[in-house]
Every structure is written in structure tokens, then in C-alpha cells.
Chain A
Amino acid sequence: MGRYVARRLLQMIPVFIGTTLIIFLMVHVLPGDPIRAMWGDKAADPAQVASLRHEFGLDQPLWKQYIDYMVDLFKGDFGKTFGGRPVSEEMGMAFPVTLRLAAVALTIEIIVGIGLGAWAGLKAGRAVDTGVLIFTLIVISMPVFVLGYLARFIFADELGWLPPNVQDSMDLQQLLLPGFVLAMLSMAYVARLTRTTFAENLRADYMRTALAKGLPRRRIVGVHLLRNSLIPVVTFLGTDVGALVGGAVVTEGIFNVQGVGNLLFKALGQREGSTIVGVVTIFVLVILVINLLVDLLYAVLDPRIRYA
């Protein structure tokens, strides 16, 4: 186990360096001069542009910019925005918002997704099962921006049940609508995964044993079936957390959520390399760590898997 973890951690190093380097190069390849663009439609003064480029280190060769950035990064310095504010401060404001939204989405995924899946699984082959199947297919078929605008139009504009925009991310009610939209796709997958494993495990030997022992149905379903069926669901949810933490550009954009997705989108528009690389760095780290945790969790939950 220890050796396995060590190997995985070592493997993260080239991935981490590779990702940041590629992002760095990509931002550089994009057309547009962030400094020049400060002047907008008006003419820019070349001498001032040159001086500002120097201040932000953009006049250095690219490899040096990258190395400087990485060295600073290891010192915990994410650089500064073109407005002169530390990137860490910007991220410090955006990540908690995205985390709150992710928590709302994840809760919906777990409750609705597992609930629907278990219901369908217990009634496998019957009308309920088909109903849930078709419902999940429809949800999966709707692109998130369609879903987002539709949900906002119906629940906020027409019915007025929920606020259409997130002005204060501490207000749970405001996060419900975007959280719901963000959760939908994964919720459908959780439902289907749960349904499949439920239906499968219903026929497993241990179920027959439990039934033969005369255990009450509530206990069989609640303890034996649920625990054994949730292993793949838990691992899926684990990886989904990784994706949710990365923020969601479309959903955050539609509902005015000031999270990581929005931050990244704006930074891209401004070619603000420091912010883009900073966000992606954190995101890559989160994904790598979560993946490791999920794989370890898998081994803990399923005794058949052993890591050497």
C-alpha cells in the first residue's frame, strides 16, 4: 500500500509540470496582447505598453517566465493580476463560492440520484424502472446551457419560486437553482449506476442468505443491499467532486455565480496568464489527489482489490 501511494505521488510530478507548462504555452499562443488591450478601442501608447510589459515580466523569454512563475509558486506566490492584486486573493474569494455551489450540487446528486436509482433498481423491469431510465436519458440529452436557461425561465422568471441570480453566495436559497442545474447530469448518472448495481446485487448470494435468515426487508435493503451497491456510486461521486471543484463556466455564467469558472473565463478574456495558470494548478492538484483517494477508497470498500 505504502509503495503504491509513493508511486502514485511520484507520477503526479510529471503530470503537474506537463499540465502547467502546456497551459503556459497555450495562453501565450492565444492572439492578443493583454497590455495593449488595456486601451480598448483607443490607441495605445507604445512606450507605455513596453514599460508595462516589463513590469509584468512579459518582455522575458517564455521559458524564463515559466521558470520564474514556478519558482514563485513553490514559495506560495501565485503572482498578481494586471490590476496589481495578488492572484491568491482572487482565488481565495472564488474557491469558497464554487465549493459552496459544489456542496449544494453534490447533496442533490446524492439524495435524488441514489433515491431514484434505488427505487428503479428495486422495481427492475417494471414501469417505474422504464420511467426513471427515460427521465435520465432526457436529462443527459439536454446540454447544460439549455437546462440552465430553461430552469431559470421556468422557476425564476415565470413561477418566481427561486431567485434568478446569485448575488450573495452565502444565501443557500440563491444557490439552489444553479446547484440543481449543475447537479442534473451527474445525478442522472448516479441514478443509473445505482439502479444497475441494485438490480445486480438483488440477485446476489448474500441477499438470498439474508432473506433465508429471515431478516426484515427494511434491514436487508437498508444495510446489506445499500452498502454493497454504493461502492461504484461512491467512486463516481468522488471523481465528480474533482470536476465540481474546477468550477463550471456555463452554469456560473448563467446564474452570475462568482466562482472559479467565472474567474477563469474572465482571465481567459483578459489573457491573464497568472490567474489562468494559478486556477488550473490548484485544479490539477485537486484532481490528482482526489483520484488517488478514490482509488484507495475503492480498495477499502471492496476487499477484493489489493494494491501492491
Chain B
Amino acid sequence: MNRALDFVRDRSGFEMILIGLSAVYLFLFAGAPFVFNVLMSFQKVDLFNIASIDRPFVGFANYQKILANPDFWLIVRNTVVFVALSSVCQLAGGFALALFFMQDFAGASWLRGLFLAAWITPGYAIGQVWKWMLAGDTGIANYFLRSLHIIDGPVYWLSDPSLALLTITFVNVWLGIPFYLLLISVGLSAIPRDLYEAAELDGANAVQRFCGITLPLMRDTLLALVALGAILTLQQFDLIAALTAGGPVNSSNVAQFWSWQLSFQSYQIGLGSAVSVLMLLVVVVIASIYVAATRSERAA
């Protein structure tokens, strides 16, 4: 007993306990469900057998059903567009704003920080605000665009199947920009000032300094940020639930929302977990890219 106590107090026992606490918790509520999910994706799971452990195995039937779904490729395409377009636009917007805020002016860092106010509000609530702003007949967005003569009549941003996906992507970009702004600013301020001064003495103009110094030195940061942005966009659920719920007729549906709909609205839990497994694999790949990018950034 005494020896065990000494092991905790003076050897690595205490660290093991501290790490063990989280390890057990995360195993129970993240690791095990993750594995269980894979298991379920090979089973027939519905409302009748949901409470029992013994469920029939159906091989790849769930996956076959998913692939055979007429909307499968639409949703894959939507997901790719949603994630890729969001990441690129968030990065570009965040970079532009970050460069602007790198100038030395009164209140720069305080004003920059206030952008985060949008990021911190609940996605479901801010999604409702956007839904109201984008309403076809009474929304202020259409009013602004019509006063500027960009559009002639009301545009139905959320109920027009050809626009719905682009609209939720736009709102998601809006929501994600502050996060990019913040992290890119950190990366930019890590570049030593005297590099720019030296380049300026060497006769490089602003564009040359940007391409010759800023971009190369930010490369790993940007890669990490694109991966991180993709991860955050793949986690986006609340906005979609608030704005379109995937509609109209799946035109703005993405995989993470579809998986939830299958499980919790049509109760085809086996199908929901099959979609979930496929998407989780994608997430794991992107997260690995993110980790690799942050490593090489540290090494540099």
C-alpha cells in the first residue's frame, strides 16, 4: 500500500492517473462509440431492435443502400462544394482582413477581436437571423441588393434549389472568417519585421514582399488552416438545420446532415451510421493533414 502511494507521489503514477482520467472518459464516450458505429454500419438497426445487443448482421447492405440512393452523388457533390468553397473563401477573406489589420492603426487589435463576436454566437440562433435577412419578400438582403441594382426582383435564396447550397456556404463563410482572421494574424505577426525591412532595402515592392516573404513563410500555417477550416465546416450542423434543413429536395443537403436525418428523422439508424462511418474516415484523413502541417510548422 505504502509502495503504491509512493509510486503516485514520487514516480510517474500521478501522471498516469491524470492521463488515465481523460483516457477512460474519451474511450467511453468517443472511442468506443466510434468503433461501435462501424459495427452498427454492418447491422440492421431500426426502432424495433435499437435496445437489444443482438442485431442481425447484414454485411455491406447498408453501404449498398446508401450508394444506390438516387441523391447519394448529389449529396457527395454538395459536401465537396460546401467544404471546398467554404475553406477557400474563408481563407481568402480571413487573409485579406488579416493583412488589412496588420497595419499599425489605433484600435487595430481590439477591432480585430470584435469580429469574433459572430463566431461565438450559437450557430442555430445566428442561422435564424440569416434566414430572416434572406427571406424572399421581406428580407433586408434583397432590399439592399435591389437598391444597389444588383438584382431586379426578389431572389429566393433559401428556397431556390439552384441557390440554397451557395447561400448556406456563404453564411458558413461569414461565420468562419473571424477564426481565420485571428489565426492568420498570429502567423503574420510571427514573421520578423526586419525581414520586410531588409527586402525593402533590397528594392522589393509590396507585391514582391508579399510573394517573396509572406506567402512562403506562411505556407505551413495556411495548409494547417485549410485543414482546420475543412474540419470545422464538416462539423457544421446548426446553420444547415436553421437555414434549409438540407432542402429543398436535398439540394443543399450535406453528408453530416444527411447522416443525422437518416438516423433521427427516418429512423434508418444502420444507414445513418454507414454515412457517418464514411464521413468520419474523411475527417480522420483531414485531421491527419492538419496535425502533419502543424508539426512541420513547429519544426520550421
Asked if A and B are interacting partners, one says no
